[in-house]
Every structure is written in structure tokens, then in C-alpha cells.
Amino acid sequence: MGIALFDLDNTLIAGDSDYLWGCFLVEQGIVDGTSYERANRRFYDQYKVGELDIFEFLDFQLRPLAEHDLAQLEHWRAQYIQEKIVPILLPKAHALIDRHRASGDTLAIITATNRFITEPIAGLYGIDHLLATEPQLVAGRYTGKVTGVPCFQDGKIKVLEGWLEDTGLSLDDSWFYSDSHNDLPLLGQVQRPHAVDPDEILEVHARQQGWPVISLR
């Protein structure tokens, strides 16, 4: 029995939950459409080429959470999950997760996307452990700030190390599945890295290293 770690966006789902949340906010008129959509696309393009300033992005991405009460946010989130996420769940991802579950492995999603967005998605896959960027919540309201280290690039390793310490688990028998070259730091830490429908940079690196390259699409 080991640990199976899964990236979320473009790995377990056929899209990016962060970007789609921004699209949803625009479609619902919750944010200013033109400027928000332009910034959302710019940050997503920066992410894909490995040039994202995670703190600049989080200032942008967490701002709408701070501007509305939690009950309203949760109402919007439920609609977002049904409209944007359920259609891009992947049967092959369910099957992969089920194989690890049947083997007795501890399952965890580890994602740069914040917990508010990703917690219900982890629930759809039946995964209890979620390591994500943590938006700060004070007295039942989001502040627009982050608690702890953003779970992105090298930050994923730091978040994972804290979780391993808390759980008493180790990476001695470990898998990590990801689509993104942004996850190369963590892919290099596990025993069995897998590239899943990888971006071009990750695919080249994975093939050079002899890592499995698989598709869940």
C-alpha cells in the first residue's frame, strides 16, 4: 500500500477548474466581464508556459471570494460544479482512482487551485485528502488572502511535506499523476511519476526520463 497523488486540472478533469471558475463568474455577471475575462486568459496563458506569478494571480483570483458572503458563494459554486465540472469528469480518471483504491493506496489530490473551488470536485471522485492552496477564512468570510504556502510548483512539495508529517506517511511507495511541467519539482520526488495527457514540455521531459506517458481522455 502506497500513496497515489493526483493533480486535478487537465489531469483528472478535461479542463482547468480555476480558469472555468473565472469564466463562470463572467457569464453570471458577478464580475466585470471584459476586464476580468482578459485577465483570466492572461494568467492562464502565463501558467501554461511556466511564467505565472502565483501571488499576483491569487490576488486576482481570490478577490471575488472576499466580495461576497459565504452562503452566496456556495450557491454559485454548486451551480458552477454542475455546469462546468460535471461535464468534464473523466471515466478513465474514475477507473484509475478505483484501481489505486482497490490496492489500498492512500489517495490525495494535490492542486494549485484553491480549496473553495476544488473541495467539491475531490468529493465527486471520492477522494478524502485534498492538498490545495488555502484561501484565508476569518469569522466565516474570505479575506482575499492566502493561508500558508500556495500549493504551486515548489510549494506543492512544501504542502505535501506538511501533510506527510501530519499523517505519518512517506513517499517510499508513491505515485504522482500530472499533465503540467509546473509539477516537475514534485514529479521528481515520487517513486512512480506519470505524465497524463501532458503539455509539450512535460512530455519531452517524461520521455527523456523514461516515465510513463498516459491518457485519461
Catalytic residue positions? 7, 9
Helix (H, G, I), strand (E, B) or coil at 197: coil
Do residues 43 and 57 touch, judged by C-beta distance below 8 A? Answer: yes
Q: Give the three cell numbers for residue 100.
A: 489505486
Angle between helices 70-80 and 17-27 (to 10 degrees): 110
Alpha helices, DSSP H, located in 49-167: 54-61, 63-66, 70-80, 91-102, 115-124, 154-167
Which parts of the chain are beta strand (E)? Answer: 3-6, 106-114, 129-138, 141-147, 174-178, 192-196, 213-214
Select from 89, 99, 123 the least CA-distant residue to 4. Answer: 99
Helix (H, G, I), strand (E, B) or coil at 22: helix
